[in-house]
Amino acid sequence: MSELLSPFELKGLRKAIGASVSRMAELLGLSGDNASDLVRKMENGSKPISGPIQRLARFMQEGVTLGNDMDRVLPRFMTCGDLMPVGGIELDWVLHTRYPRFLAVSLDDPVEELTCFTADNIEWLCVAMWIDEPVDDVTDILEECAELFAEYSYYAVNRTE
């Protein structure tokens, strides 16, 4: 296991994802009347952070922006297309690498059961999987993703013609 998460890091993680103490308790899988108190005690160091919570918090921490240098190592949005399409259908995918992480697929029409958004009303990005459950409104991130994808799509099509 990696280095233990400090109380300061746990509180920093909660603030970075914009979660209240009670919401952080939910995200960590804690329940009951004292769940929020338990998070407060772990954040102030009066209660040790258990192994399962250490692992979950470290996983959550991977999705949080770690500073400006992070973009040089791993871009916020990564786009790719299927190399080996299944059934002759080739799909474009977008991965958002920061909190809340998600994987979206490009489709011609929105899918009712999925979170879908578009920048050009031609292609729709549909969130096929949320890696992290969003805490706040994600409209800005989804709109930014759609605009970047529309740009990518435009250049990909025009580059091959």
Name the segment(s) of the chain with CATH classification 1.10.260: 7-62
CATH class, 7-62 region: mainly alpha
- Residue 156: is its pLDDT beyond 50? yes
Distance, in Å, from the CA atom of 30 to the CA atom of 56, rounded to the nearest integer, reads 12
Q: How far apart are CA 40 and CA 110, in angstroms?
A: 41
- Whether 150 contacts 123, CB under 8 Å: yes
pTM across the whole model: 0.61
> How far is the C-alpha of 90 from the C-alpha of 77, rounded, in Å?
20
Provide the mean pLDDT of the chain: 82
Sheet holding 77-81, edge to edge: 77-81, 92-96, 102-107, 124-130, 116-117
Region for 37 from its dihedrals, namely left if φ exceeds 0, alpha if ψ lies in -120 to 50, beta otherwise: alpha
Q: What string of DSSP letters covers 89-120?
A: B--EEEEE-SSSPEEEEEESS--TTS-EE-SS
- Under the banding of pLDDT at 50, 70 and 90, the label for residue 1 is very low
- Integer Cα distance of 96 and 23 in angstroms: 22
Chain segment 66-95, per-residue pLDDT in tens: 555 555 666 788 888 776 666 667 788 888
Residue-level pLDDT at 151:
80
What is the average per-residue pLDDT within 1-13?
Answer: 83
49 vs 46, 64, 80, 92, 121, CA distance in Å?
Answer: 10, 19, 38, 40, 47
Per cent of the chain over pLDDT 90 is 22
